[in-house]
Amino acid sequence: MENESEKDADQNEETSNTSESLESALMADTSAVKATQGSDTDAEVEDREKAFAGVTGAELYLEACRLMEVVPVSYFIQNLAKTYINLNHHGLGPKGVKAIAIALVSNATVTHLELEDNCILGEGAICIAEMLKENSSLQELNISNNHLGTAGAEAIASLLLDNMSYLHALQLSGNNFGEEAASYFAEALMGNYRVKELDLSHNEFNEKGGQLLGQMLASNATLEILDLSWNHLRRKGTVALGTGLRDNGALKILNLSWNGIGNEGALALGEALRANDVLVHLDISNNQINNEGAKKLCRGLEVNGKLKILKMANNPLTVEGATALVKSVRKNSNSMMEEINISNVLVNETFIKLLDLVCQTRPELEVIYGEVEGCIAKISKQHPNPMKVIRSYLKEHNLQLWDFFRRIDKDGNMKIPVAAFRRAMMQQSSIPLDRVQIGELVRKLDRNRTGVVDYSHLREQKPAQKPVEREIKEEEKKES
């Protein structure tokens, strides 16, 4: 058996080296068990190392499960050769995830791993971090809702601090991270040049945590997406984040919803938007921001030339605050705003007239508001179904739906950005659709809110199979 092992090692040196490192990992994981059974002799250790030469990832996983006395997950074994593995809600625990990690140390195919809600604890996070020091293929990792705590935060942050993994997307939501964890992540991310997407939502970061992460934002030059929703940043934490945003040159998407930032937080973000020329998406929904806070935010919106999406739903705004937001876009000739979400606000006819006026020069703008005072019963009569209007136009001009989209698609890639689609529909005169109808049309054509109207499926399919045309006919039936 010794000769066979040596022969296998000669045929594949890389596999042999990997096996030895994994055997070391297995040895470390089972040391506690061996301590109660007596120490191994040198001969026993040597035999075990030889036995692992040429072992595949699946065999390693099974052996790890055996030594740690956990039940193997057949789905994991079946998908080791694929790029995406979803092990969410599998009840792995710390030992189960150790076995997973051992099998992935030298895996070269898995790029996206989901491990949410497995109660892996800090112990499991440490094992994951050790694996990532060796693995060079894993790029996206979700270990949310695993009770990682401070020990887990320290392990993951240490990995990031040394830029030892190839991760560019990391989800750590709901892991009971507090202020100490914030200090670990802040220090790690100041010099990290790999992670572009980070989810730290649903944790316990308070004002101090916000201050630490704000300092990090001033230094980090890589992070593009940061989710801090459902924490407790409050006023001071948000002020610090705003200060960091002023000098940040990388962050594009920031989610601060459900943080109780209030009007002073809105003021800090408004000041940040005056200087920041990178952020395109800001979510400050559910943050106790009233009309006064909205007006303070507008100080930044009046000069910012980059922000495209502003989500402010479920704040205590009235039509006064809504009007201030729209006017700030109108005043700013450099505004790139495409969407303002204030979906809970009851507006009036005066606001609608203002919005119609602004959209004449900013046709790409969509403002999502609540109901209109006194006009609820009139809406369906005032705005005929846009699908039916388009269908009538196509019949009249003997055109197919493909032709309709091709005329709008200037790039010719069969995927039209929603803002470009809205602008084209507002500016054309052949199909009589107003702002409200175009908004309804966009919501139908982009049901999943991807930001793109994709009509590529119309190229190859028969008319009867075209989803959009079928939807148009269904809408017509509803009206008849």
Domain boundaries, the chain: 1-55, 71-377, 383-479
For the chain, which residues score pLDDT lower than 70? 1-55, 375-383, 458-480
Q: What is the pLDDT of residue 423?
A: 81
Fold identical between 71-377 and 383-479? no
Express each pLDDT in 178-192 by its tens digit. 999 999 999 999 999
Per-residue pLDDT, 76:
97
Q: What is the pTM of this model?
A: 0.82
The pLDDT score that the predictor gives to residue 472 is: 52
The whole-number pLDDT of residue 422 equals: 82
Select from 3.40.50.10440, 3.10.150.10, 3.80.10.10, 3.40.50.720 the CATH code of 71-377: 3.80.10.10
Residue 473: per-residue pLDDT: 56
What pLDDT, in 10s, does the model give residues 347-370?
Answer: 999 999 999 999 999 999 999 999
**Per-residue model confidence (pLDDT) at position 38:** 37
Residue 462 and residue 430 in contact, taking contact as beta carbons nearer than 8 Å: no
CATH 1.10.238.10 assigned to 383-479: yes
